[in-house]
């Protein structure tokens, strides 16, 4: 894989993560599962992202990762 394809893939992954974050943050009455279904991001990728956020303490979940919520207090801030 050449460096340009790698950078393009890396940017795509970052943009997917950013898009998912804002969709969950501004979800209103929709569940996380509903957001995932309309996001167009692969289910395995979404599961990886939510699991990563959970490890960092940014996302809390009860029974399933698909029924969780963001923990705003623990998100990093720009200073």
Q: Give me the pLDDT at residue 48, please.
A: 92
Q: Give me the pLDDT at residue 1, please.
A: 54
DSSP notation for 32-47:
HHHHHHHH---HHHHH
Q: Residue 60 pairs with which residues in a beta bridge?
A: 69
Q: Give me the pLDDT at residue 68, please.
A: 85
Q: Give me the pLDDT at residue 50, please.
A: 92
**Encoded tokens for 17:** 């993560």
Backbone angles phi, psi at 75, to 5 degrees: -70, 145
Q: Domains (ranges, CATH) in the chain?
A: 3-74 (1.10.10)
Low-confidence ranges of the chain (pLDDT < 50): none
């Amino acid at each position: 894989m050449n460096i340009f394809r790698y950078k393009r893939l890396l940017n795509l992954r970052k943009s997917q993560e950013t898009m998912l974050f804002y969709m969950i943050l501004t979800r209103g009455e929709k569940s996380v599962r509903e957001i995932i279904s309309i996001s167009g991001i692969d289910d395995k990728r979404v599961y990886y992202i939510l699991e990563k956020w959970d490890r960092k303490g940014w996302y809390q979940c009860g029974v399933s990762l698909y029924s969780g919520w963001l923990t705003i207090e623990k998100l990093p801030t720009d200073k």
